[in-house]
Structure 1
Amino acid sequence: MTREMMHIFSLKLAISPINSGSIQLYGYIAARDEYDLRLNYIFNRSREDPIIVQQGSLIEMTGPKRGIAFYCDVLLELDMRIENGENEGDDTQLIDGMSEFRGLLMPWEPTEIPINGDCATVEMSAALVSYAVAAIVEVIISEPHGVFHLSLSSIVCVVEEHEFQLFHGSASDWCGARRFVIVVTVNTMLHLKFMVGERGANGHIEDTCSFKAKLNGDARHLMNFEVASILTIVTWAAWPHGMFY
């Protein structure tokens, strides 16, 4: 059966202690729902593998790994820091705390929600999705020819169509298969938009594959570009499998 789920579309470093210039950000943001109290990581980077961001830029998410059930409440835990030198003790704490989201107060359309720390603000775009199933999306790149740039976005209907970025960068950063969990209202369409361009070349090639949200089952779509072949596999998981996949 379907459930109400929380979907997080994006994270952005809205306010940084450094107004200009880049920072090396690490730590985690994780959700706990009432059906599974374990941490479900939205963002998780170690000090040895920080992400480089600056004020106003998106923070690339590493999760979630399963759907976030929204029966009543969802608890968000945050511990985010800036790497400043060789010793962890010299690092700057950006945000450290918890934030509770209540179902009755959660917006039904993607809304920017600020999460404030002592010296920074992370802006989270999120919504409550009704009659939802989880799309487990696996993207596999094979037969690459040289270095190329890849941008992957998802378009779903939440009140109205909403597009959000899943990945943007060099395909050399794409290690094997990548997996994403996207919350979709059953019987609506999930669109995945790929933009591929060769390094140093002007312009890019754009292609889209679409899947209808179902209670279960899977589907796949193969795209053949000059620079690589991209296989997309979507597995639909309704309650309870969408929660504990």
Structure 2
Amino acid sequence: MAAAPFSSDLRGCPVPRFCTGSRTIGSSSSGIEGNEFDKPDRRGALLSDNTRIAISQGMHKEEKRGQTVDFVAHSGDEHSDNGAEDASEEIQIDDADDYASTSDEEGVDCRDNVGHTTNNVIPIHTIDNSSHRDGSIYRVACRWKTDYSIANRNETWLDAMMLSDPKDCIQDGENCIVHHPHRMLQIFSLRLTKIPVDSGYVELYGYIAVRDSLDPLLNYVFNLSRDCPIIVEQGSLIRMTGPKRGIQSYGTILIEYDMRIKTRERDKDLQLIDGVSVYDDSIYAGHSFTNRIHGDCGAVDITLSLLDGAVEATVEVAISEVRSSFSLSVSSSISGFHDEIQLFHGTICVPCSLRRSVVAVEMGAWIHLEFNLGTESYSCSFKAKKHRCDSQDIKTELGIISVKVTWSTLATFCDPQKKQLILW
């Protein structure tokens, strides 16, 4: 049976959804709802040298709070934004007033008060005057806010695979001499490390996004609205919904976040993390590390790495034939790293396509894809290259899985005003 064609908008197969829109994971283009996001569409200049210096100084100021929480594996189903949901029992979160020591509005600090770092997890500094909840990120004028177009809430207009088949490519044998790999940022995982809720489960919504020098507009790593939160257990992974494209890592990168815990009443939602943090391209290259983002009512761990000479790998998975319903989990890894990137976990009932995923891979390295179907495991690997694509079919007793990896370099620079790429 012929493989199903790939599309740019990959969807999971539908299953029953919650009445309130709760789910274990998905994608959304809206982010957090609220008046604080109704700001002027203002694009500033790209990052200046003075801004790089000023912001980079802040990244060495560590927040002396928090402690490591042992990891508790929790496999929540991941589905796309077309209504595919986890068919589990809905969890209703009580009001903030029902929790002990959780409401900062009542004058109680929800944050951890342990002043040490363990297990190589390092707290990361949140820049002053970068809060969305109190509006200081828009109200207080700073040069970095202009350089990174903070008031512009639009998503990056750049997409993945933009240079997968360039017309100006010049080949020297099998190597293109026009387009070059870049230093890139790869986020491996997000983990809900600490929450002030005794039950261990919360409904989580909001966003984490990256702003880089290629295009300072929002490149979402996680983005779900209040109407479509995910149910997450303390210590479990937060399934990422992005990024939309590869993240360039020259100069300084901003990680912007506003994540909240949903309660029964909107005005009593708990602020998990809120603000902006900074990464500089001069540190941590070549190995993964974990930073802890502390907030008023919890903490999120982010594991990431800077990769030298990397290209963008866009992974697309389609289940073209289903002989019997089966559970499926898909993960990827990069040669040289032990960290896995969770791409999908759910039940496959009919032929469908999964949400595409973008991964940074160094030239000469391999991307490994692992497929777990019930008790059976299958894998395939692809070696990084600058352009074109690779594909492979995995035939199992339960169905046929078609895998496609499209390779692309990043543009050197883009003009967000004219939406124009400027290449090497």
Residue 96 of structure 1: how far off its partner (Å): 1.2
Map 1:70-89 → 2, pairs under 5 A:
70-85=249-264, 87-89=265-267
Higher fraction of strand: 1
What is the alpha-carbon distance in structure 1 between the residues aligned to residue 191 and residue 218 of structure 2?
A: 21
> Do residues 16 (structure 1) and 187 (structure 2) align?
no
Map 1:187-202 → 2, pairs under 5 A:
187-197=364-374
Residue 157 of structure 1: how far off its partner (Å): 2.1
Map 1:98-177 → 2, pairs under 5 A:
98-158=276-336, 160-171=337-348, 176-177=353-354
What is the alpha-carbon distance in structure 1 between the residues aligned to residue 199 and residue 261 of structure 2?
A: 15
Report the equivalent of 1:201: none
User: Quick one: which of 226, 241, 263 aligns to 1:47?
Assistant: 226
Report the equivalent of 1:200: none
Map 1:85-100 → 2, pairs under 5 A:
85=264, 87-100=265-278
Q: Is the 8 A contact 2:262 2:269 kept in 1?
A: yes
Report the equivalent of 1:215: 386
Report the equivalent of 2:399: 228
Residue 102 of structure 1: how far off its partner (Å): 1.0
Report the equivalent of 2:357: 180
- Equivalent residue letter for 1:218: C
Q: Is the 8 A contact 1:189 1:211 kept in 2?
A: yes
TM-score by length of 2: 0.53
- Equivalent residue letter for 1:237: S
Percent identity of paired positions between Structure 1 and Structure 2? 43
What is the alpha-carbon distance in structure 2 between the residues aligned to residue 176 and residue 45 of structure 1?
A: 20
Residue 172 of structure 1: how far off its partner (Å): 5.4
User: Quick one: which of 240, 243, 250 aligns to 1:64?
Assistant: 243
Q: Is the 8 A contact 1:13 1:57 kept in 2?
A: yes
Segment of structure 1 superposing worse, 171-180 or 185-194: 171-180
Partner secondary structure for residue 240 of structure 2: coil
Q: Is the 8 A contact 1:16 1:54 kept in 2?
A: no
Larger radius of gyration between Structure 1 and Structure 2: 2
Q: Is the 8 A contact 1:19 1:55 kept in 2?
A: no
Q: Is the 8 A contact 1:139 1:231 kept in 2?
A: yes
Residue 161 of structure 1: how far off its partner (Å): 4.7
Residue 25 of structure 1: how far off its partner (Å): 0.4
> Do residues 240 (structure 1) and 418 (structure 2) align?
no
What is the alpha-carbon distance in structure 2 between the residues aligned to residue 57 and residue 98 of structure 1?
A: 23
Residue 238 of structure 1: how far off its partner (Å): 0.9
What is the alpha-carbon distance in structure 2 between the residues aligned to residue 128 and residue 240 of structure 1?
A: 17
Residue 227 of structure 1: how far off its partner (Å): 2.1
Q: Is the 8 A contact 2:285 2:308 kept in 1?
A: no
Partner secondary structure for residue 105 of structure 1: coil
What is the alpha-carbon distance in structure 2 between the residues aligned to residue 161 and residue 186 of structure 1?
A: 18
Q: Is the 8 A contact 1:41 1:63 kept in 2?
A: yes
Residue 173 of structure 1: how far off its partner (Å): 11
**CA RMSD, 1 decimal:** 2.0
What is the alpha-carbon distance in structure 1 between the residues aligned to residue 411 and residue 351 of structure 2?
A: 30
Partner secondary structure for residue 228 of structure 2: coil
Q: Is the 8 A contact 1:153 1:163 kept in 2?
A: yes
Q: How many residues were matched structurally?
A: 235
Q: Is the 8 A contact 1:108 1:127 kept in 2?
A: yes
Q: Is the 8 A contact 1:140 1:178 kept in 2?
A: no
What is the alpha-carbon distance in structure 2 between the residues aligned to residue 172 and residue 92 of structure 1?
A: 36
Summarize the Cα distance change of 1:146–1:82 in structure 2 as closer, same or farther, 3 Å threshold. Answer: farther
